[in-house]
Structure 1
């Protein structure tokens, strides 16, 4: 595998991982007000296809955050117990939005690297044709 194709594979794996991270973050934001919803997280792992190839990024299994759910006092809510409380979600919107910005910027950086590698490869092919 050439250096250009290895670079493209690495950046493509980064794009795929960040896109999966954005999907999980979007689910968390969408369910922030859902009673009983637990925040999801997704770890990144290093995958080495072969000894000679560059390491790739892949996502692990989606995990549920084990933090306690917020107790919300609302006696009129249908899920409220006899004390007038129910379990909300453990999603912190500020954390989720900050993580989404980080994931978006990482995605954009990988996309820029992919484009730069493609342009360099194309320029090299043009030089070789002369």
Structure 2
């Protein structure tokens, strides 16, 4: 039975990790037009002492933000430019789709493990 519980532990850690990734992607998309906002990325870490994956530190993307020309903007400097965000919506949509598919794969594995465990219990009852 410990194999089933470790499989459930691994898949549930994957679910938590992809959910955290989706949260940061959605935050990036929501702040795409916020001046000075830097894109957040999250890295996954493997703990050698425990099965599964965990969410590492949130990091800020170091890519330079866009310089936007709008002399009427309150944050514009003397040349009429201000710093926009460094969020690329196409990249964020691709990351969201990848995280969604990974989440669905982990969910499917969780469900398969649960079904196998239930089938084993039914066989043992007979």
TM-score bracket for the superposition, by shorter chain length: over 0.9
1:109 is matched with which residue? 105
Name segments (4+ residues, structure 1) moved above 6 Å. Answer: none
2:79 is matched with which residue? 83
1:125 is matched with which residue? 121
Cα displacement (A) at 1:49: 3.1
| 2:41 corresponds to 1:45 | no
Q: Distance in 2 between matches of 1:116 and 1:95?
A: 32
Residue ranges of structure 2 left out of the alignment (5+ in a row): none
Q: CA RMSD in A?
A: 0.9
Give the TM-score normalised by the residue count of structure 2.
Answer: 0.97
Residue ranges of structure 1 left out of the alignment (5+ in a row): none
2:27 is matched with which residue? 27
Give the TM-score normalised by the residue count of structure 1.
Answer: 0.94
1:100 is matched with which residue? 96
SS for the counterpart of 1:13 is helix
Q: Distance in 2 between matches of 1:35 and 1:97?
A: 20
Q: Distance in 2 between matches of 1:72 and 1:9?
A: 47
